[in-house]
A and B are shown apart, each in its own frame.
Chain A
Amino acid sequence: MSAGGDGRPDLSVRLAGVPLAHPVLNASGTFDVLESARRFGPQVLSPFAFAAYVPKTVTLEPRTGNPPPRVTETAAGMINAVGLQNPGVAAWLDELPLLAPLPVPVIVNIGGRRPADYLEVLRRVEERLATGQADLPDVVGYELNVSCPNVGRGGLAIGTEPRETAALTAAARELTRRLVIVKLTPNVADVVAVARAAAENGADAVSLVNTLQALVLDPVRLVPYLGNRTGGLSGPAIKPVALRMVWEVAGALDVPVIGMGGIASGRDVLEFVACGATAVAVGSANFTDPDAPRRIVAELEHELRERGVTELRALRGCALGRG
């Protein structure tokens, strides 16, 4: 897996044992491969720009989502309060075969109001995958979204409590041999404590950060602009916060980290890897540039070549200053 004869740097990584061609995934809810293929055609699938595909959060029951407005731009970023609108796991499973042509692994992102909801979704997906039907995608794991700031109950309430996170992670671990990834919120005093609770209870990886709780006012009426009033901030504005948290978690724990928060360039990816991330996810940048993932991977390759580094892995954690 070292650099080939063509002199291209080796970007491949292993995420808790799962081999990925490069470290760049999509952040859940920011890219929909089926919708993109419906608009732009099947070339969206091949070559597929991300190393793994993370669909939008699925919950047990259908969710209506929050009243509009749901998104708006902010300085160096954006705020959203979509509220996990989705058709529920039953309808979601009906469409799962549509993902079968994907040439990369799939990580199913699960949300819920209470732990039992997450577990029931996970169980139902496992049940479908156990049928061994040929028309299913390569689901390699689950990302537990315990960090959505835009739902009334559940979500964030679990992800801000190490004990709740520990209990949910342990219960999910019992239900699957696939990867269990816990998506962490930055809206806590001690992100390492929550990450540790996940890691010590069987999480194969943690992903961080979800959005920062934030508020935007209607500039004329001086009242909250979003239908949900508060929302989640993302984009370049939060990158330094995300980087600090990845650096803290990777510095304190051995659990693999998927870093995310404002990544928009190959240099950004390199910084997250330097802070200990094994993989990264691109979110808001998908909105400003539909070609972002391809461009970011190309830029990452260029960054390594400029530095004379043949393997991305060699730089992982170089900013941690451990030992």
Chain B
Amino acid sequence: MSVSPSHGEETCAAATSGRYRVVERRSFGPYALLSVLAPPLAAVARPGQFVMVAVPGPQFRLRRPLSIHSVDGERLRLLVEPRGEGTRELVAAGVADVLALAGPLGNGFPLEAIEAALLVGGGIGAAPLQFVADELRRRGVAVTGVFGFRDEAQARLAGAFEIDDLWVATDDGSVGRRGTAVDLAREVGAGRRASVLACGPAPMLGAARAWAAESGLTGYASLEAHMACGTGACHGCVVPTNRGYLRVCVEGPVFPFELLTDEPPAAAPEAPPAAPAEGPR
């Protein structure tokens, strides 16, 4: 009952809701890479999609939207940052624990027409870019990654990625170059014709959009938002776009750069427009 998406692909009734077992857990500093045995989800997931994961325990907790980091056979991998109370409990999940989750959800990155890709990741936002890199590699597309992290502790996340041509920067220069992911993109991507596929915090995405526009590059951003349902019901996770407020969970999380705007959409008319005062034009 909402704006129908005109970009990306609509999910095609392939999502599943169920309980799945954690079969592997790897730590990267405070972060965890959880492998969940979820064959029905792994079979249909596409790069850029996400799952809604229930926080274990009796308390009322909204499900947490987590990007799919990668798919390995019948396993989904989820990269989790202990950000708040809910994600701290998810990070603590161990092998043999069971997680209730629903997905895959959202549109994912449109990769079909991409001939060369520059993946721009910031912090935990880099999570879905492994799946993107895997799929592009499978298609024989050249992939370069530029990831930015706050500091050495957060840069531990880089260990969760296997991307051949991966460049890392930190804000404090403790690991890799000093600067941001977009600073790296300017340097590494100079003169290249590549699609920019970005995922990270809002300021990074804004800088990536601005740089791509300057450079005449097309690109897509995967956004994050607080969500309640994750399935299009509540309209809680909207972002302003040139087509009004769109839901990150359904029309996104991946949006073409040119669709995004920092301006809130004009309010719908408060009253029906007045009838024309004059005769037919």
**A binding-site residues for B, Cβ under 8 Å:** 29-32, 34-42, 55-56, 60-65, 67-73, 76-78, 80, 82, 85-88, 91-92, 95, 113, 235-237, 264, 284, 286-291
Contact = CB atoms under 8 A, between A and B. Distances in A.
Given A95-B1, A287-B63, A61 B272 contact: yes
Contact of B229 (A30, A76, A92, A236): A30
Interface in B6-42: 10-11, 13-17
A56 B2 CA distance: 11
Contacts of A80: 228, 234, 236
Given A34-B1, A284-B60, A29 B226 contact: no
A249 to B, nearest CB: 25
Contacts of A291: 17
Contact of B236 (A38, A71, A95): A71
Given A32-B232, A71-B226, A288-B54, A264 B268 contact: no
B61 interface: yes
B13 A37 contact: yes
Given A56-B1, A73-B62, 7 more contacts: A38-B13, A64-B245, A68-B245, A80-B228, A85-B238, A86-B1, A290-B102
A35 B231 contact: yes
A10 to B, nearest CB: 29
A289 B100 contact: yes
Enumerate the 6 nearest inter-chain pairs by beta-carbon distance, A residue then B residue, closest first.
Answer: A35-B232, A71-B236, A32-B233, A41-B13, A39-B15, A287-B228
Contacts of B250: 35
Interface stretch (B135-143, B154-162, B259-267): B259-267
Nearest to A31: B233
Interface string B215-242: 0000000000111110111111111100
A41 B233 CA distance: 15
B267 A64 contact: yes
B60 A38 contact: no
B278 interface: no
Nearest to B12: A38
A286 B62 CA distance: 10
B39 to A, nearest CB: 16
A244 B233 CA distance: 29
A80 B225 CA distance: 14
In this complex, the interface size class of chain B, counting residues with CB under 8 Å from chain A, is: 35 or more
Interface string B243-281: 011000010000000000000111111111000000000
Contacts of A41: 13-15
A32 to B, nearest CB: 4
A38 B11 contact: yes
Interface of B: 1-3, 10-11, 13-17, 54, 59-63, 86, 100, 102, 105, 225-229, 231-240, 244-245, 250, 264-272
7 contacts: A29-B233, A31-B233, A32-B232, A42-B13, A71-B228, A236-B60, A287-B62
Nearest to B248: A68
A92 B3 CA distance: 11
Nearest to A92: B1
Contact of B235 (A61, A65, A95): A65
Contacts of A29: 233-235
A287 B10 contact: no
A288 B1 contact: no
A235 B234 contact: no
Given A38-B10, A70-B235, A287-B228, A62 B268 contact: yes
A32 B269 CA distance: 25
Contacts of A36: 231-233
B209 to A, nearest CB: 18
B266 A64 contact: yes
A60 B270 CA distance: 10
A85 B235 contact: yes
Nearest to A59: B268
Contacts of B227: 71
Contact of A65 (B1, B17, B86, B238): B238
